[in-house]
Amino acid sequence: MTNQHHVTHTCLKHPLIITLLASILMLFAILLTQTSLAQAEELIQQDTHIPNQSTEQLLDSNNSHLAGPPIILTHYGMVLPQPRPDPRTVFPETEPSLRIFIENQSGIAIDSDESLYRLKSGEGLSNLLKRAGFDGQMRESAIQHIQNHRSLRRLPIGFPVYAIAPTDHTPGGIRISLNNEQDLSLYYNTEDKEWRSIRSFRPYEYFLTYISGDIENSLYKSSISAGMTDAMFNDFIHIMSFSVDFQRQIRAGDEFEALVEYRRDMITEKVVPGGEIYYLSLKLSGEKIEYFRHQQASGSVGYYDRLGVSAYRTLMRTPINGARLSSGFGNRKHPILGYTKAHRGADFAAPTGTPIMAAGDGMVEYSGWNGSYGRYVRIVHNGTFKTAYAHMSGISKNVRSGARVNQGDIIGYVGSSGRSTGPHLHYEIIVNGSHVNPLTVELPSGNPLTTNEKIRLAENIEIITKEMSVRGIINYASIQFSQRLALQQK
């Protein structure tokens, strides 16, 4: 009671001064925000490199697997080079509450909290805003503002819009998502009857996590249950696909390790794509293949082993979607697997329709029906290497003779056309005109690192190793790491 009285008393002492000070501060804050925002707006207009994906994709791209396995999330603590100044340092972050966000940005108090509206079938944004309580003129000008930032054509059903209906004395507000990274908030200034728009970044948290596991019956299932997201698994397969034949080399009991980064949207609390993989290893029948993420001074990112050899080769050994392929190696049914001299290629059993990728950059030499090969594509990569793909159910329509293809482009789909006993990809690598075993042929790796980059890589490996070691790895051992430990103990 006495306390309360005392507080009230102090506050009432200088009401005028406090009000004056607050008003001055608020004016300054508004001025500052408006200027820096205007500058930032220009910056981002020049440099919009973020793909414009729909919010639905964002909302759906969460990882439901994360709820299952116990994963220890340790806070992001890695110092790695940033390629360019982050626009996130210039723009404000989206507040979970639209009301608080607008209050902070405008300095005007708002009476009520926002509600979530979702676009109904056959409804346009204008109808949605009408439901939310905006009059015709406000809706029209709001839509004009929004259209400066994103296209409103083909908004998906269920598209979320946060809105606060205006009242006589407080402005209304709207928030929509521009893409995976950014939101647009609008508030209606009742004085000049104009909308103000503020672009903001969704706040993310990053978590570095060490993942490891034994392969039980599928690399995919084991990786996902160890905590990898689907996007991480696809990267994992891609990085390893140059050195590993996922259909034949993976055995039950093989082990994998990874140091990955989760990126979590702090508003939806969902893991979203965009985290990096820093380290990957596969221990196949006792032999360990490992790669470290390394960003060169030029900005280009790659994966390298301890000697600086790139994970990427001119050709892929497994030019097929690894997730589909490895989804059930424990119960393979297909009779014609593997490589024999007479057979002249490697067969990958996979469901009909599984995408087939160009194993390397090159030019299509043949595309179409080719006797017992069925639907067939052959690519010339350089003076030495050609690859061929047979029994497809379909060939991608731009893969015609003479067309250029890039490594990883989808050239067609697994099928059973021609002389074939079931859906599979028949894959051939031809070296100087002779067929070789795709699973064992020596393949040149990408551009080698310079001496200077090898030194930088060694530093990077040290950082990554240290990050792994603080995350409590017991089965991770390397010469560098034990040497380093010994050094630190001196």
Where on the chain is the footprint of Zn ion (CB under 5 A)?
345, 347, 426
State both tokens at 452.
């200077």
Q: How far is the CB of 362 from Zn ion (least distance, A)?
A: 21
Minimum CB distance to Zn ion smaller for 2 or for 340: 340
Q: How far is the CB of 425 from Zn ion (least distance, A)?
A: 8
Q: How far is the CB of 131 from Zn ion (least distance, A)?
A: 59
Nearest to 380 by CA among 395, 392, 367, 398: 367
Minimum CB distance to Zn ion smaller for 313 or for 426: 426
Residue type, 359: A
Q: Where are the alpha helices (DSSP H) in 85-156?
A: 98-106, 125-131, 136-147
Minimum CB distance to Zn ion smaller for 293 or for 375: 375
Minimum CB distance to Zn ion smaller for 65 or for 424: 424
d(CA 219, CA 213): 10
Listed as own residue / partner, the contacts of 401-405 with beta carbons closer than 8 Å and 24 or more positions apart are: 401/364, 401/365, 401/366, 401/367, 401/368, 402/363, 402/364, 403/363, 403/364, 403/367, 404/361, 404/362, 404/363, 404/364, 405/358, 405/361, 405/362, 405/363, 405/364, 405/379
Widest CA span of the chain, in angstroms? 98
Minimum CB distance to Zn ion smaller for 28 or for 369: 369
Q: How far is the CB of 419 from Zn ion (least distance, A)?
A: 9
Q: How far is the CB of 373 from Zn ion (least distance, A)?
A: 9
Q: How far is the CB of 374 from Zn ion (least distance, A)?
A: 11
Residues 83 and 295 sit within 8 Å (Cβ to Cβ): yes
Q: What are phi and psi of 220, to 5 degrees?
A: -60, -55
Minimum CB distance to Zn ion smaller for 235 or for 347: 347
Element holding 262 (H helix, E strand): strand 255-265
Q: How far is the CB of 395 from Zn ion (least distance, A)?
A: 17
Nearest to 308 by CA among 446, 425, 434, 440: 446
Q: How far is the CB of 346 from Zn ion (least distance, A)?
A: 7
By beta carbon distance, the residue nearest Zn ion is 426
Minimum CB distance to Zn ion smaller for 254 or for 347: 347
Residues 65 and 82 sit within 8 Å (Cβ to Cβ): no
d(CA 232, CA 478): 24
Minimum CB distance to Zn ion smaller for 112 or for 421: 421
Residues 92 and 200 sit within 8 Å (Cβ to Cβ): yes
Nearest to 480 by CA among 472, 469, 490, 471: 469
